[in-house]
Structure 1
Amino acid sequence: MRLDTPKATYTPPERKAFMLGVLILILLLIPSVNAVKIALIHNGYVAHYEDGKSKLMQLVQDISLAPKRLLTADKDLPVIKVDIKYQDWLKLEQDRNNALKNGIIAEQRNQVNATLYLNQQKYFAKVRLQGDMLDHVSNDTRWSLRFELKKKKALFESRKFALVAPNVRIHQGPSLFSKTMELADFDIIAPKNMPVRVVLNGVDWGTMFVEQAFSQSLLAVNDRTEGLITRLDIHEQTQNSAGEITRVLKPRELQRGTILGNPALSQQRQIALALLDDFLNKKRPASDVFDAKKMGQYLATVDLWGAWHALTWNNWRWYYNPHLAKFEPIQSDVAVTPAKHHWLMTPPSHDFALSKAMLDDPILRSHYDIAKQTLIERINQNLIPELQAYEQTLLNKLHGDSPLLAPFDLTIMKTQIMCWQSDYQGAGCQNIGQFDASLHQQMQDYAGHANWDILARFNSRSGTGVLELVNNDKESLHLKSITGLNRYEDRSELEEVNADFPRVLNPGETLNINLPADIVAVDLRAALASKKIATFQFKKDIAPLHFIPRPQPLNASLMSQYPFIEVNEGHWYVKPGTWQINDFLVTPNNTELVLPAGAHLEFATKAGLMVFGNLTVKGTTDNPASLTKQVNSRKWSGLSVFSNEYSPKSVVRHLNISYSSNPKLGLWQPRGATYFVKTPVLLEDIHISENQSEDGLNIINGDIEINRMLITNALSDAFDCDFCVGSVNDSEFRSIGFRSGGDGIDVSGSKLTLNNVSFNGVRDKAISGGERSHLTVNTARFNNVNFGLVAKDDTKITATNITAENVTHHALMSYSKKPIFGGAILDVSEFNCLDAQCENKITVETGSVLTINGTAIDSQDLDVKGLYRTIMKSDKPR
């Protein structure tokens, strides 16, 4: 028995609550108002009101609730430990000190090495300060830091990300904004904000957000094809006597080195920047540059939240969709606030110059109106309770370090939609005004300034070629060297031309470079003075917007050459018979192309079909329809079908397609020879043979049903389906990838059921599931394939009744290729392998799962990079 009085002990939450109380007392005694303000902000206080009395009452209430919030906070957060060497830390500290002195974080800042630890895993990275404004570095800890992981590693699905104090993003605001779009079924790209606990050099920095950067990782986890992200820079600004501002804006790509180092992305870049330049210079309507539906949905959500900050010229981020050659919005710096006096305003998208121009387009405006109505209906149903439940979970994670953080009053949304519906004339709406111009210096007009290489032209002239360059920038243009390519893609060092290199082109100067007649493309190593030297490619007689996939008005003169095509409004009908086509035919919008039984189209090499609407093929068993090359051609330029939300399903029965290649139309060059984009499609009894491009059949964002498809003699992949839902039944794949790198079925981000499929002679993988696909495989046969059934990158495959024989390398595989996704799961039952020592042809990488008949296969470390450099190395055609 103890005779002394035991010393009182307190639990960690009790101690933290006590310390908070002490902190509040100290705050009241601190003479610096700014110090009090910073401390309150970093503890989660966000004013919901405008007048001082209401602010004080809110603060008192938040303080009274703080102990409970601390005690009930969810402390079970991932812990990221960051180690930065002392000398490197001093460099970051100096950048921060300079920012506090100058009032802004400098554009040029130090980038140093760091080591991160999470779940006993070690990651090497580069790190620098993140952001521009001082709120990123105002506190002694929790500075905003931007990381780029090395060795292609990933944390939380990102190779590039920032650690940001929650107050910098107004805590739960961006997450509520993106959740609103998700609950409204608006498919808009939004960076992830995930709360974690950060320990930096042994010091507990508390809760911060992991914020995804605008990078390829962001696109991949949002089910987007690899592409580029663009933004605007300011080239110059003028102000007239009335104070009206005009800004000249210059489009540019993010991740410049990655984009210019990839030939396909580099071509996409030229199209993308030229399109933006046309929009900024009012040469092209918004709906011809942007995905009208997605942009309308994003602008409606911005207006619902009063998120004007997202509409400033410098906060726009756009993803260039390479299939459609159009831009999608990316949620960026929405800065939504719970303060009613800032939240409620007439639609800010109607006041900001760029968004106003978008909404002046009647097509985009119609999608905006539809999106507004969708939001109204969802709010009148259960959107607000769903958001409140989501918000409470998030607040529980943030309260551990931000106990003064209060929930948003989401009922303000009801006021907003009521005022929308009454055009701000209803009760309580007439006092709601426009965006407060004192919050941001608006521009009244704008124009575009093209990048120097977008203006460059490589043209035929008098039997030779001339590369015309003009430096339209304010700084010198450095030209290092030039290389030529002929039509066989043989490289020429152009020694006589390079004798004059390197050279400098001063602002305003032009230069014509004469080149041999056989050169069809040139690689120019060049850069403005402030940039690193990079390779810019120019193709002879092809401007950036030489061709983009757009519906075309009816060309009566052209169509008169094809009297076998009956043209009516919204309808093209091909008469039965065998017909020659020598042009690339593009339909008007919302057109149905009909091929009846016995319709046979033979195409010249550069001829093809592009349908904007839907395809109907009415072949029969005895009398199928066909699309093929002309006798004197080696191939033709393929079939492309682009749908929209108004188009009926494409229904294709008994169609034979042979010798098709992907259309190579200017810089827009899709992979698929038979190509369906954003369309529901039914394919039955279709035979694709002698394919001459990367993908025999390529479907993007499709709702599909495929029955009895046969693909034979494919140059590369047979069937590639990205972001698809549906089924493939009773289908066969023979002699696939005879050049190399050919998969039978290759899916990404898809949910498919495969029933009774067989593969014979596949140079790569018979079935390849990747990037979070979900596949159900019922009865599949593999014979003479390099790889059988492969799951990778967070894909789950459930397979039953699988037979494999003559497998060169691996019959079953489960692994991770892209670290942003992680491991895969492959579950196989009724597996029958007819090869000797088949147990050596079953492989699962550590971190992935492979089970056969309920028994887990032991995992092992795999050199996945080595696989793709050797036995899985691709040599796909361009």
Structure 2
Amino acid sequence: MQLKSDKSNHSRWVLSLVILGVVALSVFVLSQTSSETGVTAGVSKTYDLNVPTVITAAQIDYTQVLDQPEQQVYNDSLVSLYLSSHMGKPHLIYAYKNPLEGRLQTDLFFLHIYVKDKITLKNQAAYLNLDFFKSPEIITHNGVSYSVFDRLLEHANYPKATLDIDDIAYINTGRYRSGMGRSHDIAQLRLDPSLILQNKYTNSLDSLTLTLKASAFEKIRTKRNDAIARGLLITDDDDYVKGSLSYQGKTLDTELRLKGDWTDHLLDDRKWSYRFLIQDGHTLNGMRKVSVQHPKTRNYLWEWLYNKALTAQDIIGLRYDFVNFTIKTTSNTNIHTKGVGVMALEESFDKILIEHNRRRAGVIVAFDESYLWNERAKEYDLNLPVREVASTLQSARIAPIKVYNQNKVLSDPALAKQFATAKSMLDGLRKGDYKISEVFDLDKLSSFVALTNLFGGAHGMIWHNIRVYYNPITNKLEPISYDSNSGVALEGIIQYPFSEKDPIYTAAVLEKLERFSQNKFVNTLIATHKTELLRLNKDLSYELGNGIDLTILEHNSNFIKKAINPSDVISAGLHSIDEQQLEVALENLSDYPVAITGLSHTDGRTLGTTTKDSVVLGKRQKKTIRFDLNRYFVNAFVSKKNKKGSFNYPKDVAKLRVNHQIEVIDLPRKAPIAPFALESDLQDFTSTYKDWETPNYDSFDFIIKDSENSLRIARGAYTLDQTLVIPKSKVLTIEAGVSLDFKKGASLISKSAIKA
């Protein structure tokens, strides 16, 4: 018997593939995982992307705690309790000798903290409930195994969040289970604050004293009260008053005003935010324009650490520090001194900032946000709610582009030309005339975006917070750190404004996200600044009770790893197959370009290559591609039951894998293939299935009916342009010398034996 097929339309093993597709769906879904990485995917290397980041500095060394018996506050036959300080925050540590038995394995911890009478708790709370349950850390100390639990002494109803041990009257703690009562009870345990030296710590910060006339301060107070009544602060040059600053033995004349847009900069009774312009060419710690503000407006220590991380990568960052701030007001009759306490000291935007970051003198530009704040002020004045969706006046699309130090820039021809160039580039970017990779220094921008993600600084990439330097040497724009509000847990990857549809930018950011999310990078960053970080953490937490939580960096690092190396990258469904090619319907499930690199067997053997040199699926793109099958394909399916090695549909589809990887990320992956196209029309499935189920031999003139159960094809040449279906009840005999020419994808389906 000779079988022919139309060369333009091979008779595919397809069995149109839809026949068994619907039936196979439930089996495939239950038996396959959609994408494979790591050991299960045959990936032999160990990738940092598959390993969670753990910051060693964020972990308490429990063996070191147990080595300090003076920190033990309680001990009985079941448990030892220790009071310890870590990253400036107090912890109560429970150490049980192993093995844990009975209810010690399952009971929750209760921890009720009663404060001294002088302390008023929020929400009229009678005590602080810190009940908890967590898995223990198993350690060995002096040859003895312990299960260790710890509880951070922090509560939202306490005035400063993190507790001062000196404010605690006593604690009740132990173990309990709902409905069964307490299995262990420690009552009225008093804690000695000297054990963690909270009451002995001396603030190490420099002092900054502002002196001004009482009348000038009254002008500032009036402006502050008006802003609080209105809901936001609108400033202009007439707000400046004169004063002087004393710092490190020097007295500097200054002009000053309130700063901030929202009133979070002004709500505290003492800690208002100020902008200073140092006069007569002098500087404060090398800065001419500088602000002081409540540390919480930049999320305490996070902005300091964020700027350290940026400048280490040669990105323009602001000098950021902390001071003990005091205000002195003078009049003809007296001097009034008011201790403000710890404040953040932040550099502002001028020539000195650029020089300090080792750049050639150039302009700093930004989107003017005056339309936005003017409209919000109008909404407040008219008792209207703040818009959830910005109006035209609150959009970056129409915001003017401003330049810092405008008078100096416009009076200098060289700087004015730089401003015109930078303005044109930024305006062209927002209009879509340029791609972001064309106008920005891509290395610095991608590093900025990746680090901002690591720190959770989405606030700094809102359009009205971005600040940009024009580098006259490279003729490129560079991002400047500003108001990131870092230290927030990521919920999605943050992108720079106007960066859409630029694959060059996307690839560069992806590469930096992989680099900066690595465990080694994060831990090296913390280790580099650990000494200063611990000192400042004590300085801030001593007064403000708010230490830095480095586990935010752990979370964000691991979130980035999941985002750029997701569990599933593509879905694949078999579309068709013949002796030479296999066609697969693919969908990119990720946000990044995915390269399709080949076809393989589950045992690792390569079975085919794409018909094109390179196949890349864009973000969320769907595409059907063909693989050229190599000479090993058929033999790849030899088994005890299949000694000839031919490919059996649909069973052998489970052994096929699509090789792929996210571009830039050097992490090979393999995805299984469903034995059917995943998004085929159900109506097509049904009609095709019915066609294949329905016998149609009566429609073919060359089929001879010898008896009720016997059919025959006599010697000769015949053409089939539709599929011939022989039912189970009929036996088909094909005589010698028969030639069948299949056209239009036709095939022969016999549900009984064929005699030839």
TM-score by length of 1: 0.40
With the length of structure 2 as denominator, give the TM-score of the two structures: 0.46
> Per residue, is there more strand in 1 or in 2?
1
Larger helix share, 1 or 2: 2
Larger radius of gyration: 2
Whose RCO is larger (CA < 8 A, sep 6+)? Answer: 2
